[in-house]
Chains A and B, each alone.
Chain A
Amino acid sequence: MMLSRAKNWLFLCCLLTGSAYAAEPDAKQWLERMTRALAEQNYEGFFFHVRDERSERMRIIHRVDKGNVSERLVSLDGSGREIIRNASEVICYLPDRRTVLVEKRSERSDATSLLGGLPAYSQSLEKLYEIEKVGGVVKTLGRKTQILSVQPRDQYRYGYRLWLDQETALPLKSQLCDRQGRVIEQILFSEVNLRERIAADDLKPAVNADGFTWLRQTTQPVVVASMTVGWTVIRLPAGFKLTERRVQAIAGSDVPVRHLVFSDGLATVSVFIEPRDMQAQPMRGLTRVGAAFAYSRDLEGHQITAVGEVPAATVEAIAAGVMRDDANDDAAASKPDQAASASSPPP
């Protein structure tokens, strides 16, 4: 049965090391199918988000209309938080903080919203992850599913175990795992409804945000070429490459923030760099948001924060590698007077 399979699988995981196995083509196809299914289908349902000893029930509504994807994610227990993504914005309703955050989405993600963030499969991805089917089709709780294992080959990224519906390729159950196969987080669907169409009204928030503080980007980010250079990250963990540089406004701040994105093809880490607010405490050290880690430090009058759904070691290593790029110095775009007064030697 599936359970003994799971044990065998765990056992196998212990035996297999990072030898250079190529992923089975079929396994890659499953992963690509799943990625497309997640983006392209109309569906709504309920899932349990399980981490540590907490389990939270969530509602998801995913709508594709004329190539535009919108999605609503609602916490049904506790906080009542909601996140609504559409082609132009990501809106977070945080009733427990009486706050609404509005993030403008980038041009880039507008252009690729339908298939946004499709991982690129390549030899280099296979160097970093072992992607394979686990066993044949198993009947998981009454439904035919294929178990897919995406196993990281080092400790700088997480892997996944995915139970993919044979017919739709939607992940009915997914586990985020560390390199040892220990489960960090699970998403378990209790119900998925595929629909021909989803009404636009279903994407409206249930939260009454009257009287909440709305944090928006008040300034359009000034996209000056010189602002996107001037910083670099050295000694990146294996496989991570710079995939995006942008200057963006962040809700609640009138200072443009540099945003560098690093990806290994599956996992991503963002680095945010902004001039430090000298009145506020600098942010330092490791923080956790769900299964994501953030690592902050201050450097030459700037606040550096690396964020990603990766192990703590990865955000820390990437944050530690941030440095001024003298070859492309953009001092004019920052505030050199502050930099002088606040520079602190790197640890």
Chain B
Amino acid sequence: MSDTVNEQLSACLDGELPEAELDLLLKRVARDQELGRTLGRFALTGEALRGAGAVRASASFADRVSAAIAAEESITPRRVSRINPSVMRWLRPAAGFAIAAGVATVAVLSVQTTPAPEPELVAQAPASVSSPVAANDSYVVPANTISNFVPATRLTNYVVAHSEYSSPLGMRTVLSGVLSEEDEAAEAAASSDSADASSSSATEAPRP
């Protein structure tokens, strides 16, 4: 296989291959099984590298991020996520997803984080809801009612046990929440955690 093709493959996975060349390359991939396998290897190598840690954005990537932010909806962007530029384009499913190597790499570029609303969202009037609890639901949840009393680990237990019953989307939301749970919540609960720890110490078990 020629170095040119290897370079094209590499550039393709780095998102730096011009559109026209990408089309040509993908047509070749569809025809050429060996090329497909190489592409699979490249994808895996890239994955291994990415797994190692640092995420870097190329200059052209930064430009695209800026452009995308400028063009996005008018909600104020607060922060630009650093997104791995390694796979900037979708590989067109010219050969479907059954590329010879069994690896089809697809990617989305998304850049905007949108500020999430605070619990004020519950402050709205119950409106025309036919809910049986609507009648007494005109309360507001002030920020300071967020309690520190729930021992963090206990709550995590509940959330994980709950996730089993969530819809697939809900489950992803719930479990991602557990993973990204802010440490301050854990720290805030640290004092009550000690009580929790003493009550649960009997159940501690060393790793089997």
Which A residues contact B (CB, under 8 angstroms)? 3, 6-7, 10, 18, 35, 38-39, 46, 48-59, 73-75, 78-79, 81-83, 90, 92, 94, 96-97, 99-101, 103, 105-106, 109, 116-119, 140-143, 154-156, 160, 162-163, 165, 167-168, 171-176, 178-180, 182-197, 209-210, 212-218, 235-238, 243-244, 248, 250-254, 259, 261, 263, 266-270, 272, 277, 279-292, 294, 296, 305, 307-309, 311-313, 316-317, 321
Contact = CB atoms under 8 A, between A and B. Distances in A.
25 contacts: A3-B71, A48-B81, A53-B113, A58-B180, A96-B186, A103-B160, A117-B165, A162-B169, A172-B106, A191-B106, A235-B132, A250-B157, A252-B196, A253-B154, A266-B170, A279-B199, A283-B149, A283-B151, A283-B154, A283-B155, A287-B146, A290-B174, A291-B177, A305-B158, A309-B166
Contacts of A188: 81, 108, 110
B83 A238 contact: no
Interface string B112-150: 011111010110101111111100010101000111011
A195 B103 contact: yes
B19 to A, nearest CB: 10
B97 A194 contact: yes
Given A97-B152, A167-B93, A187 B204 contact: no
Contacts of B186: 96-97
A156 B129 contact: yes
A55 to B, nearest CB: 4
Contacts of A212: 207
Contacts of B154: 252-253, 283
Contacts, number: 367
A51 B181 CA distance: 10
A294 B174 contact: no
A48 B83 contact: yes
Contacts of B192: 280-281
Interface of B: 43, 47, 50-51, 55, 71-75, 78-79, 81, 83-84, 86-87, 89-90, 93, 96-97, 102-110, 113-117, 119, 121-122, 124, 126-133, 137, 139, 141, 145-147, 149-183, 185-186, 192, 195-196, 198-200, 202-207
Contact of B204 (A195, A214, A235, A309): A214
B161 A270 contact: yes
Contacts of A118: 167-168
Most buried by B among A18, A174, A268, A282: A268
Given A197-B102, A215-B204, 18 more contacts: A3-B73, A53-B79, A103-B160, A106-B164, A117-B167, A143-B108, A155-B122, A155-B129, A168-B97, A172-B106, A186-B114, A188-B81, A236-B133, A261-B162, A269-B162, A270-B162, A283-B147, A286-B145
Given A216-B203, A270-B158, A288-B146, A141 B165 contact: no
A52 B114 CA distance: 7
Contacts of A38: 168-169
A48 B97 contact: no
Contact of A81 (B87, B104, B157, B179): B179
B155 A289 contact: yes
B79 A311 contact: no
A309 B89 contact: no
Nearest to B68: A141
A101 B121 contact: no
Nearest to B182: A54
A235 B35 CA distance: 62
A19 to B, nearest CB: 11
A252 to B, nearest CB: 4
Contact of A55 (B105, B113, B132, B202): B113
Contact of A90 (B89, B127, B160, B183): B160
Nearest to B102: A196
Given A253-B200, A307-B158, A190 B167 contact: no
A90 B163 contact: yes
A101 B160 contact: yes
Given A187-B176, A294-B155, A317 B109 contact: no
Contacts of B116: 51-52, 182-185
